[in-house]
Amino acid sequence: MTHHSLLGPDYSFERAAQARGLSLVAGVDEVGRGPLAGPVTAAAVILDPAHIPEGLNDSKKLSAKKRQALHDALLLCADVSIAHASVEEIDDLNILRASHLAMERAVAGLKQRPDHLLIDGNMIPRGLTGSSEAIVKGDSRSVSISAASIVAKICRDYVMWDLAQHYPGYGWETNAGYPSKSHKSALEKLGVTPHHRRSFKPVHNILYQEK
Protein backbone atom coordinates (compact mmCIF):
# COMPACT_ATOMS: atom_id res chain seq x y z
CA MET A 1 0.00 0.00 0.00
CA THR A 2 2.99 2.34 0.13
CA HIS A 3 2.61 3.41 -3.51
CA HIS A 4 -0.35 5.63 -2.55
CA SER A 5 1.74 8.21 -0.77
CA LEU A 6 4.01 8.55 -3.81
CA LEU A 7 1.13 9.18 -6.16
CA GLY A 8 -0.86 11.27 -3.75
CA PRO A 9 -4.33 10.49 -2.45
CA ASP A 10 -6.94 8.61 -4.45
CA TYR A 11 -10.54 7.41 -4.20
CA SER A 12 -9.78 3.79 -3.26
CA PHE A 13 -10.96 3.93 0.40
CA GLU A 14 -14.19 5.56 -0.75
CA ARG A 15 -14.66 2.98 -3.52
CA ALA A 16 -14.11 0.11 -1.09
CA ALA A 17 -16.80 1.48 1.26
CA GLN A 18 -19.19 1.99 -1.65
CA ALA A 19 -18.62 -1.60 -2.76
CA ARG A 20 -19.93 -2.61 0.68
CA GLY A 21 -23.09 -0.57 0.08
CA LEU A 22 -21.97 2.51 2.05
CA SER A 23 -22.68 5.03 -0.66
CA LEU A 24 -22.14 8.42 1.02
CA VAL A 25 -18.58 8.58 2.33
CA ALA A 26 -17.27 11.59 4.27
CA GLY A 27 -13.63 12.44 4.88
CA VAL A 28 -12.90 14.06 8.24
CA ASP A 29 -9.77 15.93 9.35
CA GLU A 30 -8.74 18.56 11.87
CA VAL A 31 -6.17 21.32 11.97
CA GLY A 32 -4.73 23.27 14.86
CA ARG A 33 -3.74 20.78 17.54
CA GLY A 34 -0.27 22.27 17.95
CA PRO A 35 -0.88 26.05 18.22
CA LEU A 36 -0.67 27.97 21.49
CA ALA A 37 -3.65 30.12 20.51
CA GLY A 38 -6.97 29.89 18.73
CA PRO A 39 -9.55 27.15 18.25
CA VAL A 40 -9.04 23.68 16.85
CA THR A 41 -10.93 23.36 13.55
CA ALA A 42 -12.32 20.29 11.83
CA ALA A 43 -13.97 19.69 8.48
CA ALA A 44 -16.09 16.90 7.04
CA VAL A 45 -16.45 16.59 3.25
CA ILE A 46 -18.57 14.33 1.06
CA LEU A 47 -17.17 14.48 -2.47
CA ASP A 48 -19.28 14.03 -5.57
CA PRO A 49 -17.44 11.19 -7.37
CA ALA A 50 -18.35 12.77 -10.73
CA HIS A 51 -16.80 16.13 -9.72
CA ILE A 52 -13.60 15.66 -7.74
CA PRO A 53 -11.33 18.70 -8.09
CA GLU A 54 -7.94 17.94 -9.65
CA GLY A 55 -4.89 18.09 -7.44
CA LEU A 56 -6.33 17.30 -4.00
CA ASN A 57 -3.57 16.50 -1.51
CA ASP A 58 -2.55 16.93 2.11
CA SER A 59 -3.02 20.68 2.66
CA LYS A 60 0.55 20.99 3.98
CA LYS A 61 1.90 19.85 0.60
CA LEU A 62 0.07 22.52 -1.41
CA SER A 63 0.97 26.12 -2.13
CA ALA A 64 -1.30 28.73 -0.55
CA LYS A 65 -2.67 29.64 -3.99
CA LYS A 66 -3.47 26.02 -4.92
CA ARG A 67 -5.04 25.43 -1.49
CA GLN A 68 -7.30 28.45 -1.89
CA ALA A 69 -8.35 27.40 -5.42
CA LEU A 70 -9.19 23.86 -4.24
CA HIS A 71 -11.06 25.23 -1.22
CA ASP A 72 -13.20 27.42 -3.50
CA ALA A 73 -13.84 24.52 -5.89
CA LEU A 74 -14.84 22.20 -3.03
CA LEU A 75 -17.40 24.66 -1.68
CA LEU A 76 -19.08 24.56 -5.10
CA CYS A 77 -19.04 20.82 -5.79
CA ALA A 78 -19.01 18.98 -2.43
CA ASP A 79 -21.01 18.76 0.80
CA VAL A 80 -18.69 20.63 3.19
CA SER A 81 -19.07 21.25 6.91
CA ILE A 82 -16.59 23.07 9.18
CA ALA A 83 -16.69 23.29 12.97
CA HIS A 84 -14.49 24.44 15.85
CA ALA A 85 -13.77 23.66 19.47
CA SER A 86 -12.94 26.79 21.43
CA VAL A 87 -9.89 27.64 23.50
CA GLU A 88 -12.06 27.18 26.63
CA GLU A 89 -13.05 23.69 25.48
CA ILE A 90 -9.42 22.84 24.70
CA ASP A 91 -8.40 23.92 28.22
CA ASP A 92 -11.35 22.12 29.86
CA LEU A 93 -11.21 18.84 27.96
CA ASN A 94 -7.60 18.59 26.60
CA ILE A 95 -6.57 19.08 22.99
CA LEU A 96 -7.24 15.53 21.80
CA ARG A 97 -10.80 15.43 23.14
CA ALA A 98 -11.46 18.97 21.87
CA SER A 99 -10.22 18.07 18.37
CA HIS A 100 -12.55 15.05 18.44
CA LEU A 101 -15.41 17.32 19.52
CA ALA A 102 -14.73 19.60 16.54
CA MET A 103 -14.79 16.52 14.26
CA GLU A 104 -18.11 15.36 15.75
CA ARG A 105 -19.58 18.83 15.17
CA ALA A 106 -18.30 18.92 11.59
CA VAL A 107 -19.91 15.56 10.77
CA ALA A 108 -23.18 16.66 12.40
CA GLY A 109 -23.19 19.78 10.21
CA LEU A 110 -23.16 17.96 6.85
CA LYS A 111 -26.28 18.44 4.74
CA GLN A 112 -26.39 14.72 3.98
CA ARG A 113 -26.01 11.98 6.53
CA PRO A 114 -22.88 9.97 5.65
CA ASP A 115 -23.01 6.17 5.55
CA HIS A 116 -19.30 5.86 6.32
CA LEU A 117 -16.56 8.10 7.70
CA LEU A 118 -12.88 8.16 6.78
CA ILE A 119 -11.09 9.84 9.68
CA ASP A 120 -7.54 11.11 9.55
CA GLY A 121 -5.34 9.67 12.28
CA ASN A 122 -5.41 6.53 14.40
CA MET A 123 -8.49 7.14 16.55
CA ILE A 124 -12.22 7.37 15.96
CA PRO A 125 -13.83 10.09 18.12
CA ARG A 126 -16.19 8.42 20.56
CA GLY A 127 -19.10 10.66 19.59
CA LEU A 128 -19.00 9.32 16.02
CA THR A 129 -21.12 6.21 16.05
CA GLY A 130 -21.86 4.23 12.93
CA SER A 131 -19.56 2.97 10.24
CA SER A 132 -16.11 4.58 10.22
CA GLU A 133 -12.41 3.89 9.87
CA ALA A 134 -9.32 5.75 11.02
CA ILE A 135 -6.60 6.17 8.39
CA VAL A 136 -3.09 7.13 9.46
CA LYS A 137 -1.71 9.87 7.16
CA GLY A 138 -5.16 9.86 5.61
CA ASP A 139 -4.77 13.36 4.18
CA SER A 140 -2.19 12.02 1.71
CA ARG A 141 -4.07 8.75 1.03
CA SER A 142 -7.77 9.58 0.67
CA VAL A 143 -9.04 12.46 -1.50
CA SER A 144 -12.01 12.99 0.85
CA ILE A 145 -9.68 13.47 3.83
CA SER A 146 -7.40 15.72 1.70
CA ALA A 147 -10.44 17.83 0.90
CA ALA A 148 -11.31 18.09 4.61
CA SER A 149 -7.71 19.04 5.49
CA ILE A 150 -7.77 21.85 2.90
CA VAL A 151 -11.04 23.48 3.94
CA ALA A 152 -10.21 23.15 7.66
CA LYS A 153 -6.82 24.81 7.18
CA ILE A 154 -8.14 27.70 5.05
CA CYS A 155 -10.93 28.35 7.55
CA ARG A 156 -8.67 28.23 10.62
CA ASP A 157 -6.00 30.40 8.98
CA TYR A 158 -8.69 32.99 8.31
CA VAL A 159 -9.90 32.87 11.93
CA MET A 160 -6.32 33.45 13.10
CA TRP A 161 -5.79 36.26 10.57
CA ASP A 162 -8.95 37.90 11.89
CA LEU A 163 -7.86 37.51 15.54
CA ALA A 164 -4.48 39.01 14.59
CA GLN A 165 -6.25 42.25 13.63
CA HIS A 166 -7.53 42.54 17.21
CA TYR A 167 -4.37 41.28 18.92
CA PRO A 168 -1.45 42.56 16.84
CA GLY A 169 2.13 41.66 17.65
CA TYR A 170 1.85 37.87 17.97
CA GLY A 171 2.15 37.22 14.23
CA TRP A 172 -0.98 35.09 14.05
CA GLU A 173 -1.59 36.26 10.48
CA THR A 174 1.53 34.30 9.48
CA ASN A 175 2.09 31.71 12.24
CA ALA A 176 -1.62 30.82 12.74
CA GLY A 177 -0.98 30.61 16.48
CA TYR A 178 1.71 27.92 16.22
CA PRO A 179 4.65 28.25 18.63
CA SER A 180 7.04 30.03 16.27
CA LYS A 181 10.00 31.86 17.77
CA SER A 182 8.39 35.26 17.19
CA HIS A 183 5.09 34.11 18.74
CA LYS A 184 6.86 32.83 21.85
CA SER A 185 8.88 36.04 22.29
CA ALA A 186 5.70 38.13 21.80
CA LEU A 187 4.07 36.03 24.50
CA GLU A 188 6.95 36.90 26.85
CA LYS A 189 6.77 40.61 25.94
CA LEU A 190 3.04 41.25 25.48
CA GLY A 191 1.60 38.60 27.78
CA VAL A 192 -1.27 36.16 27.41
CA THR A 193 -4.45 37.02 25.45
CA PRO A 194 -7.92 35.50 25.99
CA HIS A 195 -7.24 33.43 22.86
CA HIS A 196 -4.21 31.65 24.28
CA ARG A 197 -4.55 28.05 25.45
CA ARG A 198 -3.80 28.18 29.15
CA SER A 199 -3.29 24.44 29.39
CA PHE A 200 -0.38 24.58 26.93
CA LYS A 201 2.99 24.65 28.64
CA PRO A 202 4.56 27.85 27.18
CA VAL A 203 1.38 29.79 28.00
CA HIS A 204 0.92 28.18 31.41
CA ASN A 205 4.55 28.91 32.30
CA ILE A 206 4.15 32.62 31.52
CA LEU A 207 0.91 32.86 33.47
CA TYR A 208 2.27 31.11 36.53
CA GLN A 209 5.95 31.98 36.55
CA GLU A 210 7.37 33.28 39.79
CA LYS A 211 7.74 37.02 39.38
Task: Please indicate, yes or no, if residue 181 is contained in any of the structural domains.
Answer: no
Whether 120 has a binding-site annotation, put simply, is yes
Task: Please indicate, yes or no, if residue 200 is contained in any of the structural domains.
Answer: no
Tell me how many degrees the CA angle 38-41-42 measures, rounded to the nearest 5: 170
Print pLDDT tens along the chain (211 aa): 344 446 789 999 999 999 999 999 999 999 999 999 999 999 999 999 999 999 999 999 999 999 999 999 999 999 999 999 999 999 999 999 999 999 999 999 999 999 999 999 999 999 998 999 999 999 999 999 999 999 999 999 999 999 999 999 999 999 999 999 999 999 999 999 999 999 999 999 999 884 4
Q: What is the DSSP string of 9-67?
A: -BSHHHHHHHHTT---EEEEEEE-SS-SBS-EEEEEEE--TT-PPTT---GGGS-HHHH
Task: Please indicate, yes or no, if residue 17 is contained in any of the structural domains.
Answer: yes
Whether 48 has a binding-site annotation, put simply, is no
> Taking Cα atoms as reference points, which of 182, 208, 210, 200 lies closest to residue 37?
200
> Taking Cα atoms as reference points, which of 144, 143, 154, 190 lies closest to residue 36?
190
Q: Domain range holding 126?
A: 3-155
CATH code, domain with 78: 3.30.420.10
Whole-number Å distance between alpha carbons of 71 and 56? 10
- pTM, full prediction: 0.95
Task: Please indicate, yes or no, if residue 176 is contained in any of the structural domains.
Answer: no
Give the total number of structural domains in the chain: 1
